[in-house]
Amino acid sequence: MAVVYDPSSTTTVKLYVDGTLDGSGNFSGVTVNTSSSNFQIGMRVDGVNSFEGDIDEVRVWNVARTQAQIAADMNAELCTIPASLVAYYRLNEGVAGGSNGSVTTAHEDISNVNGTLNNFSLSGTTSNWITGAGITPGGPNFVQVTASACNKYLGPRGVVYDSSGTYLDTLQNQHNCDSVIETTLTVKYVDVSVTTTNTTLKANLNNATYRWMDCNDNHKLVLGGTSQTFTPPNPNGSYAVSVSFAGCTDTSTCYSLDGVGLFENEISPLEIYPNPSNGKVKISIPPMGKGQIAMFSATGQMVFQDDDVETGEMEIDLSSQPKGIYFIKLEADGKTFVERLILE
Tens digit of each residue's pLDDT (9 = 90 or more) over 304-326 = 888 888 878 888 888 888 887 78
Of the ranges 33-47, 54-68, 270-284, which is most confident? 54-68
- What whole-number distance in Å separates Cα of residue 195 and Cα of residue 10? 83
Select from 168, 186, 188 the least CA-distant residue to 178.
Answer: 168
| Fold match flag (1-138 vs 271-343) | no
Flag the least confident range among 92-101, 189-198, 277-286: 277-286
Contacts 24+ apart (CB under 8 A), 18-23: 18/74, 19/67, 19/70, 19/71, 19/74, 20/67, 20/71, 21/67
Contact 161, 197 (CB under 8 A): no
Is 271-343 a domain of CATH 3.90.110.10? no
DSSP label at residue 95: P
Determine the pLDDT at residue 252: 86
* pLDDT band at 29; cut points 50, 70, 90: low
* pLDDT band at 259; cut points 50, 70, 90: very low
Beta bridge pairs of residue 239: 214, 255
Select from 342, 194, 335 the least CA-distant residue to 273.
Answer: 342
Select from 248, 239, 236 the least CA-distant residue to 221.
Answer: 239
Contact 103, 92 (CB under 8 A): no
Percent of the chain with pLDDT over 70: 88
Determine the pLDDT at residue 264: 39
What sections of the chain are H helices per DSSP?
Answer: 67-73
* pLDDT(58) > 50: yes
Residue 15: Cβ within 10 Å count: 14
* pLDDT(98) > 70: yes
- What whole-number distance in Å separates Cα of residue 185 and Cα of residue 164? 5
User: Per-residue pLDDT averaged across 226-255, rounded?
Assistant: 88
Mean residue pLDDT of the chain comes to 82
User: Per-residue pLDDT averaged across 117-144, rounded?
Assistant: 77
Type of residue found at 292: Q
- What whole-number distance in Å separates Cα of residue 203 and Cα of residue 198? 15
Residue 71: Cβ within 10 Å count: 15
Cα 264 versus chain centre, distance: 35
- What whole-number distance in Å separates Cα of residue 66 and Cα of residue 148? 42
User: Per-residue pLDDT averaged across 212-231, rounded?
Assistant: 89
Determine the pLDDT at residue 63: 94
Q: Residues 215, 216, 219, CA angle at the centre, nearest 5°? A: 40
- Region of 97 please: left (phi>0), alpha (psi -120 to 50) or beta: left
- What whole-number distance in Å separates Cα of residue 177 and Cα of residue 167? 20
DSSP label at residue 79: S
Cα 212 versus chain centre, distance: 35
DSSP label at residue 217: G
Select from 57, 37, 44, 42 the least CA-distant residue to 120.
Answer: 42
Determine the pLDDT at residue 298: 64
- What whole-number distance in Å separates Cα of residue 100 and Cα of residue 283? 43
Q: Which CATH architecture has domain 1-138?
A: Sandwich (2.60)
Select from 194, 189, 190 the least CA-distant residue to 213.
Answer: 194
Domain spans, the chain: 1-138, 141-188, 194-251, 271-343
Tens digit of each residue's pLDDT (9 = 90 or more) over 158-196 = 788 888 999 988 776 555 566 678 899 998 888 989 998
Cα 18 versus chain centre, distance: 38
